[in-house]
Structure formats: C-alpha cells, structure tokens
Amino acid sequence: METDIPLKTLTNLRPQDLLPMLGIEAATVLAVETLELPMAATSLDTVLRLRDAAGQEYLHLVEWQGYRDTRFLWRVLGYLGWLGVHRSERPIGVTLVYLRPGDDTGGTLSQSVSGREAWGVGFRVVRLWEQDAQAALTGRNVSLAALSPLMAGADLALVEQAATLIFKHAVSRRERADLLTILGIFSAPIMESGRFVRMIGKEPLMASDLVSYLIEDTVNERVQKAVAEIQAESAARLAIAQEALQREAEEHTRMLEEHTRVVEEHTRVVEERQRELLARAVEDILVTRFPNTPVSLSATIRGIRDLDRLQDLHAALLRASDQQVAEHLLRQTTG
C-alpha cells in the first residue's frame, strides 16, 4: 500500500488535529513545510512550524513510516542534523509514527565499540496499532478518524463511524473527499476497497486527487484475483499435461524396453539355431569324409559357440586332404 502521499495530504489538511497524538497539543501550527534537502534529492514533507504557549516558534519533524527500513533511524538523524544546520528555529522536535508492527525499527539509535556504548539518541515514537481506535473518534478530530483503521480495536463498525464523523465535521467538500479517501486506503485490511466505495458512494470521493489510490487498489485487487485464478487454472492444466506426458513417456520407455528385449531374444534364438545347424553341418562333413575320427574329438564341435569359427572350420574340413589334417583342424579350432 502506497502511504506517503495520503499521509502528506493528511498532515497538510489538518495538522492541528495531529498534535495530541504527537504529544504537543498545547502548540499552535503556523505552517506545514516541505523542505528540499540536497542529499539525493530528498525532501522533508512534514515539518511543522509551531508556536508554544509562551510564543516561541519551533520546528517539529513528523516522520511517518509505512514500510520496514533498517536505515530509517539513520535517515531521521540526518534530517535533524540538516535542520539544525540550516534552520534557526529552536528547539527541533521529532516524532516517529509507525503505521504497522512490521514497519517498526524502534526509537533508539545507539552505537557500541568493543561492547561499550559510544553514543546513543532516542526519538519519541507513536505506534498506531497501540492507539485506541475508539478513543480516536471522540470529539471532532477528523484526522485521527482517518487514521483509526490502523489503531487497536478497529473493525467494520468503527470504519463506518469514522466515515460518519468525517462527513459531519469536515469543513469543505474537498477536505471531506480527501479524508474519506485516506480512510478508505487505510481501512483496506478491514474493509475491501470496493465495499468501502459502495458504502460511501463515488460522488463524495470524486473531489479528491487521492481517489485514484483507492480505485487503483480496488482494480488491483480484482486484477490480482483474476491473475491468481488464471495462474492456478494454468498451473492445474500444466500439471495434468505434465502428468499425461510423464505417463506417455513411461509407457513409451516400457514399450521400447519390451521391444528391445523381444528383438534381443529373437536374435539370440536365431543365432542359436544357426549355430546348431552349422555345427551339425560340420559334424556331417566330418562323418562323411573322415568316419574314423575319434568320437571324443568330433564331440567338441558342439561346444563351439562362435559362428565365424564354425564357418571357418566347415570350409577348412571341405578342403582337408586327409583325416590327420582334419583332426589337426579340430584341435586347433577347439583348443
């Protein structure tokens, strides 16, 4: 949620309303200043120029913090240093306002060297979730009413009460529109933006330059919901498709393995049959041409597993000139 511009607008609209929360309700606001700092084009949007009961003018820096930043306290210290050097008003007060627990980085900046504190500085801190939302609606403080959804005890009924208070006590149509829009922005965790717009009506909001933040949140919620639904549906379809492809791949692999096994078995059977036939052919040649060959020697033919050796022996026996040559061939082949 973008909070910088709504909070700047709120501070400029009704700065006097914020003084009780800042602990300086006795002061009078003379101006809300935006000061341009030279460092990285930074600006201080909420520097209150005040006058106390004794008539002394001084400055009070309000730092709203709506996100977590571990360097936040260092930045505040830098701002105070710049104000001390470049502005003559004294004293210079400061209040840190944390919007949510997750934004809170504390109120004390200290440095230790070798386990001993070298220096430290403390800041006054307001944690909105520790403030009483119902108490913020007492009186006519419309600024605190706009912030009340961020406070303790806020609920749907309180948002409606805050809207009623703003309708009743805002001093102009433009102020009412801005304050209602800010209320809608900060009540988003409690009341969905679309519901808030329907409750208030579009017309009271249209005078505010901030209404785009509220409408944008509503549109973003719908877009995000639609995108999430599309992504979920796409993810489900993708998972189904991937599962089908996985099954298909596994079946294809199984069929390929089975085919390979069948081919290998067929090849083995064919080769064994060829070996048996060739071995028998060699035996037939031996019996036909050299019938007196010792049976023990001829029996070794069936132990030859290599088809090439059997083919070579078959051809050699056909050419053998006598039994002695044949027996030599048999010993040489089976040895």
Is 132 in the same domain as 258? Answer: no
Inside any domain, residue 292: yes
Lowest mean per-residue pLDDT among 15-24, 246-255, 298-307: 298-307
Domain-located, residue 318: yes
Question: Does residue 223 surpass a pLDDT of 50?
Answer: no
What are the tens digits of pLDDT across the range 306-320?
888 888 888 888 888
Average pLDDT over residues 234-254: 85
Same domain flag for 248 and 214? no
Going by pLDDT thresholds of 50, 70 and 90, the confidence category of residue 219 is: very low
Final residue of a structural domain among 196, 225, 254: 225
Q: Range of 285's domain? A: 244-334
168 in the same domain as 33: yes
Please state the rounded mean pLDDT for residues 211-240: 67
For 39-51, write each residue's pLDDT tens digit: 554 677 789 999 9
For residues 133 and 184, membership in a common domain is answered with: yes
323 within a domain of the structure (yes/no): yes
Residue 237 lies in a domain: no
pLDDT for the residue numbered 39 = 58
Any domain includes 48: yes
- Is 234 contained in some domain? no
User: Is there a single domain that holds both residue 75 and residue 146?
Assistant: yes
What percentage of residues in the chain have a pLDDT greater than 70?
93
Report, as an integer, the average pLDDT of 16-32.
89
SS3 track for the chain? CCCHHHHHHHHHHCHHHHHHHHCCCCCEEEEEEEEECCHHHCEEEEEEEEECCCCCEEEEEEEEECCCCCCHHHHHHHHHHHHHHHCCCCCEEEEEEECCHHHCCCCEEEEEECCEEEEEEECEEEEHHHCEHHHHCCCCCHHHHHHHHHCECCCHHHHHHHHHHHHHHCCCHHHHHHHHHHHHHHCCCCCCHHHHHHHHCCHHHCCCCCHHHHHHHHHHHHHHHHHHHHHHHHHHHHHHHHHHHHHHHHHHHHHHHHHHHHHHHHHHHHHHHHHHHHHHHHHHHHHHHCCCCCHHHHHHHHHCCCHHHHHHHHHHHHHCCCHHHHHHHHHHHHC
Rounded to an integer, the average pLDDT of 251-273 is 87
Question: Does some domain include residue 271?
Answer: yes
Same domain, residue pair 284 and 209: no
Residues 180 and 257 in one domain: no
Tell me, yes or no, whether 215 and 279 share the same domain: no
pLDDT of residue 317: 83
Q: What total number of domains does the chain contain?
A: 2
